[in-house]
Amino acid sequence: MTAVSRWWARNKVALFFLSPWLAGMIVLSFIPMVVSLYLSFTNYNLFESPKWIGLTNYANMFLHDTRYLKALQVTFLYVFVAVPLQLLLALALALFLNRGMFGLEWFRGIFYIPSLIGPSVAIALLWRKVFGNDGIFNMVVAPLGIQPRSWIGDPDTALMTLIVLHVWQFGSPMVIFLAGLRQIPKEFYEAAAIDGAGRIGTFFRITLPLLTPIIFFNLIMQIISAFQAFTSAFIIGGNGGVLDSMLFYTLYLFITGFNNFQMGYASAMAWVLLLIIGFFTALFFATSKRWVHYES
């Protein structure tokens, strides 16, 4: 038997079962990644063949394209305000619901609903009207003496409406926190009670350290997905909103690639996004030894 036929005999069954996934991996992920890296060094409009321009796309992005820099600023502000707020709310509600709550399953389901429908176009449309000139937010805050205005049309508050929409979807991290809380052994709490620890001491010495792996997981997953947010900004802000106050990174990438057909430039933007997300993921993993508590 030759080496090839031995290899084939050993792997043919697995290859059969893996073939759809392998084909997808090669044709839809691996090759496109390499091609988009190549395109990022070219000028390409889909109809003519790509022209090699070296690092020009990357240089333009950071040196000349003020709209790109604005998109970066908007996206960073969104990610690093919305994600922590959302996770704090998720953790607070998980702790609140966890201890002997009557109807826990019902509340868990109800608080999960916004996560379920939040990414849809229907909810983005609703948001446009909740925070619009004639929206119900104005009617609700009017008794507090706040002047009615379009919260979406004002560049100072437009991004806030998108952040509120993100925080509103705290249900899915909350469900993961609840599952994590349930896995903390009761004996730990009993031991703490014997030691005379109060509720606050118990929280900081037992609950919080044992939840850090879940906090870590939620943080990474939410940051990765928040960097890629698109639908809410596209439906609520259109082409970026007033003064580009809602110009998410992916929205600008979409405009560049599919409205202006600058596909080389859009590919370069996609690669920078990959590097940004990779950087933060690596950063969290690198610091995780200091603050994430894994049971030995």
How far apart are alpha carbons 251 and 240 in whole angstroms? 7
Give Cα 167 distance to the centre of its chain. Answer: 11
Per DSSP, the three-state class of 43 is strand
CB of 222 to other proteins, least distance (A): 8
Q: Which is nearer to other proteins, 245 or 250 (CB)?
A: 250
Supply the minimum distance, in Å, between the C-beta of residue 278 and other proteins. Answer: 8
Q: How far is the CB of 92 from other proteins (least distance, A)?
A: 10
Nearer Cβ to other proteins (208/277): 277
CA distance 268 to 168: 32
Nearer Cβ to other proteins (208/274): 274
Pick 20 or 196: Cβ nearer other proteins: 20
Query: What ranges make up the beta strands (E) of the chain?
Result: 42-43, 51-52
Residue 168 or 188: the one with the smaller Cβ distance to other proteins is: 168
Least distance (Å) from other proteins to the CB of residue 110? 5
Instruction: Rank residues 148 and 185 by Cβ distance to other proteins and give the closer one.
Output: 148
Kind plus residue range of the DSSP H or E element containing 236: helix 231-237
Letter for the amino acid at 89? L
Work out how close the CB of 181 gets to other proteins at its nearest, in angstroms, rounded to a whole number.
Answer: 11
Q: Please check whether residue 284 is in contact with residue 84, taking contact to mean a CB–CB distance below 8 angstroms.
A: no
Write down the least CB distance from residue 243 to other proteins, Å: 22
**Closest CB to other proteins among residues 13, 63:** 13
Q: Report DSSP letters for 133-192, one per residue.
A: TT-HHHHHHGGGTPPP--TTTSTTTHHHHHHHHHHHT-HHHHHHHHHHHHTS-HHHHHHH
Q: How far is the CB of 195 from other proteins (least distance, A)?
A: 19
CB of 173 closer than 8 Å to CB of 87: yes
Among 186, 194, 193, 184, CA closest to 94:
184
Give the span between the Cα atoms of 234 and 107, in whole angstroms.
31
